Structure 1
C-alpha cells in the first residue's frame, strides 16, 4: 500500500474536521431555532465537547509536521492556496489552550440562551452578569493572539474574521465616512420629508409574511433542496453549503423587518450554496472572509432588494398576500422601501444610516476588548453615540440598544466591522455591474 504524502494526509484530516463542523453547524442551528429551552445546558456541553475534539485534531503535532513537509511537494495553484488556508487554521488554533476553547464555548452558550429571555425583559443586569464572563475569556484569547501576532488585543480578534485587517486601517476608512455621513443623512431625511408617505396598515399575518418570504427566496434563486427557512430570536444564516439554514423573526405590525431579514439571509445562503462544490470539505472552499460574506447579503438587501426593478417585481406579490391599500401604490411602495429614517435597530436600518450603527459597535467593542471600558460602561456609551449619530436616546432602553444584537453573547468581538466593509464591497460590485462591466465589454470587443 502506497504511503500517503503529507498533503494527502492533510486532505484527509481536514475532510474529517469538515464533517465535524457540519454536525456542529446543524446542532447550533437547532439550538437557536428549534430546541426547547430545557435542552440548552446539555447542548452547550455537547457543542463544547465537539469543539474540543476539533481543536485536538487540528492542533495535533502531526498536522504541523505535514504542513511543513507539504511545502516541498509539487502542488498546483489551487492546492497551494488550500495549503495556505490549512496553515492559517492550524496557526490560529494552535495558539489556544484546550481549556480556553471549552470555557469560551460554554460561556457563550450560557450567555446566548439567557439573552433570548433577558432582551425582551429589558434585563440589562442579568445579561451583563453573563456577558462579563464572555468578555473575560475573549480578552484572554485576544491577549494570547496579540502576543503571538503583534498589535492590539482587538486587532487579534479582528484578524479572525477579516484576515490582515487592523483597527488602524479601519479608522482611516471610518474617518472618511464620519466626515460626510452625518450631513448626507440630514440632507436625505430633509428631502424625503417633503414627500409624505402613506404607512401600510397591518396587521400582516405571520403565515402570510412567511409565504411572501418563501416566494422572494424562490425569486432570488434559493435552492430549497439544500436549505430551509425558520424562526429565531435574531436572523441568521447557518448550516453548511449543502444544507443552508436561514432564519428570520416576525412582527405582525411590521412587514419590512422580516422581509428584508429574509432577503439579507438569502444573500448569505446563495453565497454558501455557490461555494466550489468539488472542494467543500477543504479550507479553500470556505468563505473568504466575513466581510465578503456580508457583501453578498448586503448586496441582496440594499443594492438589489431596494432597487426600483426588484420592488416593482415584488409589489404584485405583496398585494396578493396583503390586499390592495393606498400604501401599496407603485410610487408609495417604492418610496416607502427606499426611505431613510434613523432608527434604533441595526438589522432594520436603511443603507444611509446603517454605517452609523456599525461604527458605534466597532468603537465600543474595541474599547471593551482593549480594556479601556468595562461591561457596565456599555449602556451609557451606547446612548451617547446613538444620540451623536442618529439623534436617538437609548437611556434605559437596553432591549433596543446595547442588547439588540446576538454577536457579543458568544464572544463574536471583531465581527461588526465586516458589515460596513461588506456594504462598501457591495456598492462597488453594483457600480461595476452598472458601468464597469459595460466598459470592460466594450474594451474586449475592441481587441
Structure 2
C-alpha cells in the first residue's frame, strides 16, 4: 500500500528530526566551544539526508496512489498534510535554495556586524539582494500552491492564513490600539501616583531562581519525565515532544524576566508534550503552525501568569524559594504593576502586550509592500519611521539600529513570520474566553495552584488535534467562532483600565 510507504517514510523522517533537534538544543546549551565545526558538519549531513528523503520523486507517486486507497479519517487528513508538506518542500529548485542560503547567510553576518554601528547604508545592498530572492521565492511558492505571493509565504508558518482575512483583523486592532495606548498609559500614571513602583531587592542567586522556575513549571503542568530546563543565550523551547529541551537565562539583579521567560517557554512545551503520540511520525501529529504555538506560550505567560489569581498562588512560591526578604513589602498589586507595565518603546522584543501588536502590524504592512514591489529596501527607514510616529508616537529616523535593523528576520529572509506573533496573542485571549465559559471556576482553581482542568481543556481542544485542521479552522473548532479581535481588546481593557 502506498500509504504504508508514506507511514514508513514518516518514521524515518521523525528519527532524523529527533537527532537534529537534540543536537541543536545541545549545541545551544552544553556543547564545548571546540565542538562547533564537527557539530555543524554532522548537522549539515543529517539535514541533507532529511531533505533528500523528504523530497524523493517517488513520494509524489505514493501520494497520488494513496488517494485511491481505503483510508480512515485520520489517514485521509494525514495524506493531505503529507501532500502539503511535499509541495512546500519541493517547490523551490535546488539551485535557488543554494543561492538563497548563501545570500541570507552573508546578509545575517553583515547585519550582526553593522547593526551595532547602526550602519544602514552599508547594509542596504545585502538586504536588497535578500528582498529580490524573497520576491522570487514568493512567486515560486505562489505558483506551486495557487496562492497570492505573500499568502504563499505565510502558508509555511500558519497554514490557512490569508491577507484578505488578516488585513481586516489587524486594521481593526490597529485602530483600537492607537486610541487605547494613550488611555492605558494615563490609567497607569494615575495608579503609579497612588502607589509607585517598588525597587527589586537583589541580588537573586541563580540556583534559587532556577528552583523557583522549576516549581512554576511543575505547577502549570510540565512533565519532567519528558523534558528539562537548561540555560542558553536566548531562551527557547526545542527538542522533541518526548524530550522537550527548554532554556532560560538569568539576571541576578531581578527575578521576574527569567520567571516570565520560563513560563512563556513552558507554554510552548506543554503544547509539544500534549501532541497526539500515535501520530508523532506523521505531519498530522505536529503542532499547527507558529501562530497557534505562540498562542500556547502566550496563554501561559499573558492569560495566566500576569493575572492576579496566578500571583495569589505564585507569590508564596517566590518567598519559599528566594526567601521572605526577596521582595520585602511586595504584595500581588506590586507584582502586577511590574509585570504589566506599559511603555512606548523602540524594540519589539522588549515591548509589553499593549504596544507589541503595533510593532508587528508595522512589519506586516511593510513586508507586504516589499514582497509586492511597492516598497524597495532602500526606502525602508522612511516608511518605518512614518509608521512608528503614527502608531507609537516615536521616531526612529536617526536610529536604524533600534529601527529597521533590530530584527534578524529580514536579513535572514524570513518573510511571512511576523503576523504569527500577534495572532498568537489574539488566539490566546479568545481561547481563555472560551475556556472560562466552559470552566467558570477557572480563576479560583488558578488561585489554588491547580491548573489541571485548564490544561485538560487545552489538551482536548488544541493539543490533541495536532495538524488536523488549518489554523483558522482550529481556532473556530476550539473557541466556537473565527478569530475575533474583540476578545483581545476586552482582555486589554480589563487588565489595563479595570
TM-score computed with the length of structure 1 as normaliser = 0.86
Tell whether the 8 Å contact from 2:139 to 2:149 is kept in structure 1 after alignment: yes
Change (3 A) 1:360 1:149: same
CA distance in 2, matches of 1:104, 1:228: 35
Match of 1:192 among 188, 191, 206: 188
TM-superposed deviation, 1:354: 2.1
Partner of residue 340, structure 1: 342
SS at match of 2:191: coil
Question: Does 1:422 pair with 2:401?
Answer: no
Change (3 A) 1:360 1:33: farther
CA distance in 2, matches of 1:218, 1:343: 34
Change (3 A) 1:296 1:9: same
1:82-231 counterparts in 2 under 5 A? 82-105=78-101, 108=104, 131-132=127-128, 134-196=130-192, 197-201=196-200, 203-205=202-204, 207=206, 208-231=208-231
Tell whether the 8 Å contact from 1:152 to 1:370 is kept in structure 2 after alignment: no
Match of 1:368 among 357, 366, 370: 370
Partner of residue 433, structure 1: 435
Change (3 A) 1:116 1:235: farther
Match of 1:402 among 385, 404, 420: 404
**Farther off after superposition, 217-226 or 245-254:** 245-254
Change (3 A) 1:325 1:421: closer
Partner of residue 7, structure 1: 3
Partner of residue 63, structure 2: 67
CA distance in 2, matches of 1:178, 1:244: 36
**Farther off after superposition, 175-184 or 17-26:** 17-26
**Farther off after superposition, 37-46 or 20-29:** 37-46
Q: Which runs of 5+ in 1 are unaligned?
A: 440-447
Tell whether the 8 Å contact from 1:200 to 1:328 is kept in structure 2 after alignment: no
| Cα RMSD, aligned residues only | 3.0
CA distance in 2, matches of 1:326, 1:395: 43
CA distance in 1, matches of 2:103, 2:20: 17
TM-superposed deviation, 1:346: 2.8
Partner of residue 17, structure 1: 13
Tell whether the 8 Å contact from 2:174 to 2:361 is kept in structure 1 after alignment: no
Partner of residue 444, structure 1: none
CA distance in 2, matches of 1:227, 1:108: 33
SS at match of 2:155: helix
Change (3 A) 1:100 1:377: same
CA distance in 2, matches of 1:337, 1:61: 52
CA distance in 2, matches of 1:247, 1:106: 29
Change (3 A) 1:112 1:266: farther
**Farther off after superposition, 148-157 or 397-406:** 397-406
1:314-393 counterparts in 2 under 5 A? 314-319=314-319, 320-321=321-322, 323-325=325-327, 328-393=330-395
Partner of residue 78, structure 1: 74
Partner of residue 468, structure 2: none
TM-superposed deviation, 1:194: 0.6
CA distance in 1, matches of 2:400, 2:33: 23
Change (3 A) 1:194 1:401: same
Tell whether the 8 Å contact from 2:267 to 2:298 is kept in structure 1 after alignment: yes
Partner of residue 22, structure 2: 26
Partner of residue 445, structure 1: none
**Farther off after superposition, 28-37 or 275-284:** 28-37
TM-score computed with the length of structure 2 as normaliser = 0.78
Partner of residue 442, structure 1: none
Change (3 A) 1:324 1:188: same
Question: Does 1:284 pair with 2:281?
Answer: no
TM-superposed deviation, 1:102: 4.2
TM-superposed deviation, 1:436: 4.4
Partner of residue 443, structure 1: none
CA distance in 2, matches of 1:44, 1:125: 32
Q: Deviations over 1:48-68 (max 9, x none)?
A: 554343232222221111111
1:227-238 counterparts in 2 under 5 A? 227-238=227-238
Question: Does 1:54 pair with 2:55?
Answer: no
Change (3 A) 1:310 1:79: same
TM-superposed deviation, 1:218: 2.1
